[in-house]
Amino acid sequence: AQRRIEKKLGLPTKLEDVDPEVWVKVDSFSLLQAISYLASRLSDEFEVREVRFRLTAAGRLVHLDLIWSGQAMSTETVMSWELEPMKIEDESSPLTVRDVIDRHDGEMWLEREKVRHRAFFRILLPAATPQEQAEAETYLRGESRPEYYDFDLFAWSEKSHALDDRLLSELSYTVFDTETTGLNPSQGDEIIQVGATRILNGKLLRAESFEQLVDPERPLAPESAKIHGITSEMLRGQPTIDKVLPAFHAFAADTVLIAHNAAFDMRFLQLKEEQTGLRFDHPVIDTLLLSAVVHPNQESHRLEAIAERLGLTIVGRHTALGDAIVTAEVFLKLIPLLAEKGIRTLRDAREAAEKTYYARVKY
């Protein structure tokens, strides 16, 4: 939060009484958006020149305070800030601060420190249990990648809408995954492996697969190598992306694309349109969003967590083909669960996914 506010807003920040033993269970991206948005409103409308953070335990909850010196606003102003869609300079989101707080089953209010002529927003958040702390530490070591929402999965082409009324159980799918040099496609990270498998008439066809390493023509980020185990030596002499994507595009022809956290992978493909002359204008289904449709109250929609909930055994994770196969198995398990909710066609699935919390979060 400090880095984001200082870089994006040019607003100095300080830490004040942050308990290093306290862990919180949050959707970090949306919470950072909310905190940055509040800081931007303070800076723009009340000429606040510095904000401070305080993080303290409160039993099974945690107090996160955003503190500033100077006047406090009215309750009506606080309410309007909570309920307006968040906008920070050139970034906008359909989410409100209240959406983010409600997502965490939390609360937010304004308090004043009259003696010190300060005020603060107090955000009440759930504390993580020791088990969840351990899981978070594993996650931070690089064994999974964060969720990205910087590609519009629902801006389908007219051709794609032709399949809207087809049953999910009857469509042909290409289930795919990519491994990459890093996590920032818009900042020069590249695809280093594409893996895909096929679903036809409700059956996984393992024999129909696509798997190819890609020379990224740039160094690998150390943190990405910890995830996928692919080394620079393995990529030396492999074809470049302008050779690989035409082959993958042909493999995926006339099918619906499926990926887990699809916005991440689709953003990489989108950024290669000009270089390759190819547009992946297929309908796209995201198993992360469909999991949120089927299990809206679950905390995690990471592929590992969904597979465990559905009783699937994970083999070969963090190779592109291995992840694609797990994603395909997850999707096949989700089809009957979606049908129980009246979601049977491609249109039904798209419209239900678009209403989920995760689909509304934007970079």
Helix (H, G, I), strand (E, B) or coil at 193: strand
**Rounded to 10 degrees, what is the CA torsion of 64, 66, 72, 77?**
-80
Two tokens at 265? Answer: 């992978």
In the block, residue with structure tokens 């040019």: 10
Query: What is the CA angle 161-326-175, rounded to 5?
Result: 30
Among residues 104, 260, 282, 318, the one annotated as catalytic is: 318
Q: Is 161 a residue of the active site?
A: no
Beta bridge partners of 123: 64, 108
Q: Which residues contact 69 (CB under 8 A, 6 or more apart)?
A: 48, 50, 116, 117, 118
In contact, 18 and 70? CB cutoff 8 Å: no
How distant, in Å, are the alpha carbons of 196, 213, 216, 226, 243 from that of 237? 21, 10, 11, 22, 13
In contact, 305 and 326? CB cutoff 8 Å: no
What residue spans of the chain are helical by DSSP H?
Answer: 2-9, 28-46, 75-83, 97-103, 130-138, 158-161, 222-228, 232-235, 241-251, 262-270, 273-276, 287-294, 303-309, 320-340, 346-354, 357-360
In contact, 230 and 179? CB cutoff 8 Å: yes
Encoded amino acid at 107, one letter? E
Cα gap 286→257, rounded to integer Å: 9
Cα gap 177→196, rounded to integer Å: 6
Half-sphere exposure of 214 (CA within 13 A, CB side): 26
Cα gap 327→298, rounded to integer Å: 18
Active site members: 318
